[in-house]
Amino acid sequence: MLCSAFALSLTFLRTSATDAAGVNQERAKRVLMLFSESKDLPANIFLERATRAELEKRSRARLEFYAEHLDASRFPGESHYRLFREYLSEKYGREGPDLVMANLGRDFALAGELPEKLFPGLPVIFVAVNVEAIAKRAATELAERIADYYRRQGWTG
């Protein structure tokens, strides 16, 4: 699923003008990552880091990343959603992003009118994540690292 999002993202970010020396003359491509949940949610932290690392590794263009979080679980009301929309409009209205990645958790409000209303005609990629699968994978990787540490210390066989 993440691979599909990266491939799609790169389609929009690949183009980059270079001069004869191969130096990038174009402004950085701006990627706005919108999250429906809190910035402290482990799945969001993982997803943001993985997205940045993968796109930077694969893109020839210079990239700038921006992340905004709706935090819909703690603030579920329509007034908060409206304030979030107004905040994004004010912040990104003049110098908008080149690509929007809407990362959806429990609240799918970001999949509605928000991207189209704020950034008409702009490519938007919707990413839905199975939080339980990511948490399980992270726990397994952590357990493996702990076991490896103990093996290296000679504490286990």
CATH of domain 2-11+26-131: 3.40.50.2300
Closest CA to 106 of 56, 44, 157, 155: 44
Q: Quick one: tokens of 112?
A: 């509605």
pLDDT at 10 over 50: no
Res 9: pLDDT: 53
Region of poorest pLDDT, from 61-70, 86-95, 115-124, 138-147:
138-147
- CA-to-CA separations, 30 to 26, 39, 93, 112, in angstroms, rounded: 12, 19, 13, 22
- Scored b (16 or more CB within 10 A) or e, 62-81 reads ebebebbbbbbeeeeeeeeb
Amino acid (1-letter code) at residue 66: Y
Q: Give the mean pLDDT of the chain.
A: 76
User: Is pTM beyond 0.75 here?
Assistant: no
What pLDDT is recorded for position 60?
85
E strands in 5-130: 29-35, 63-69, 99-104, 124-128
pLDDT at residue 43, rounded to an integer = 78
